[in-house]
A and B are shown apart, each in its own frame.
Chain A
Amino acid sequence: MVTLAHYLVLSALVFALGLFAVLTRRNGVAVLMGIELMLNAANINLVAFNKYAAPGAMQGQVFALVVITLAACEAAVGLALVLAAYRSLETIYLDEINLMKW
């Protein structure tokens, strides 16, 4: 029997993995991958609550779709920023990017 708590625990573990990547990775692209994992964890929560807490309403799945769309936007803009930083500073390692202006 799979209950709501099973899905929430899975989501918490995926979120912790993504947080670990965001905190420890030096490469800007790897940090973005961690953010994608965290957004996926949030989506698992939304869809699981939709099934177990409010099956009559579709709000959880609708909001998960909105989050997926915004994650795509965030990935596009974030990767564009990484490319722009690489073009100016020749590095995408976040601890070496220390300029606000050049």
Chain B
Amino acid sequence: MTGEAIAFYVLAAITLASGVVVVRSPNIVHSAVALIPAFLGVTGVYILLGAEFVAGIQVLIYAGAITVLILFVIMLTEGGTGLRLRQVNEQETIGAMVAGVIAALLVVGITRTGWHAGMGALPAYTPGAIGQSFLGPNLLVFEGTSIVLLVSLIGAIIIARKEE
């Protein structure tokens, strides 16, 4: 087994194990904190795939900002862990079946497909190439994203503020 394979399996195990905690823990705070190793495992996968800029953004936004935001909302509503309340609805069996069947179909489909490798090579320094792409061919995407950010910021403030 090569080092790359060992790294991949360790990162996949970290991601999936903490994902199970996120999905199943009866304590909602444990779920939110388990999001951090799940996101960091995905960060490691990005680094294995040669996407170091996406990995950095993943740590900053997901593991940093979004997890803290989720913890804040948990603390602001119901005062904490919700341990005395039932956390899953009555669709537990059928939900597990649906998720399991979709996962099985996807895994079978992926493993039975012959994937062709593409031509070319990743640039040695992807942040520069991403910057060139955002300010060149993808400029409209960049500007559109900034407008969406502004709109969602204003919308979040208007929705969450106290009504007079």
B76 pairs with A83, CB closer than 8 A: yes
CA distance A7 to B132 in the complex (A): 27
- Chain B residues with CB under 8 Å of A40's CB are 38-39, 42, 62
Chain A residues with CB under 8 Å of chain B are 1-10, 12-21, 23-27, 29-30, 32-34, 36-37, 40, 43-44, 47-48, 50-59, 61-62, 64-66, 68-77, 79-84, 86-87, 91-95
B142, closest chain A residue (CB): A66
Task: Tell me how far the C-beta of A16 lies from the nearest C-beta in chain B, rounded to whole angstroms.
Answer: 4
- Chain A residues with CB under 8 Å of B28's CB are 27, 29-30
CA distance A18 to B22 in the complex (A): 9
- Answer whether A72 and B16 are a contact pair too, CB < 8 Å, given A15-B106, A19-B99, A25-B89: no
B151, closest chain A residue (CB): A73
Known: A10-B15, A36-B66. 20 other contacts (CB 8 A): A4-B115, A8-B110, A13-B103, A23-B99, A25-B87, A37-B19, A53-B115, A55-B120, A58-B129, A61-B54, A62-B130, A65-B130, A66-B141, A68-B62, A69-B61, A70-B148, A79-B70, A80-B155, A80-B156, A80-B160
- Chain B residues with CB under 8 Å of A6's CB are 8, 12
B77 pairs with A77, CB closer than 8 A: no
B77 pairs with A29, CB closer than 8 A: yes
Task: Tell me how far the C-beta of B39 lies from the nearest C-beta in chain A, rounded to whole angstroms.
Answer: 7
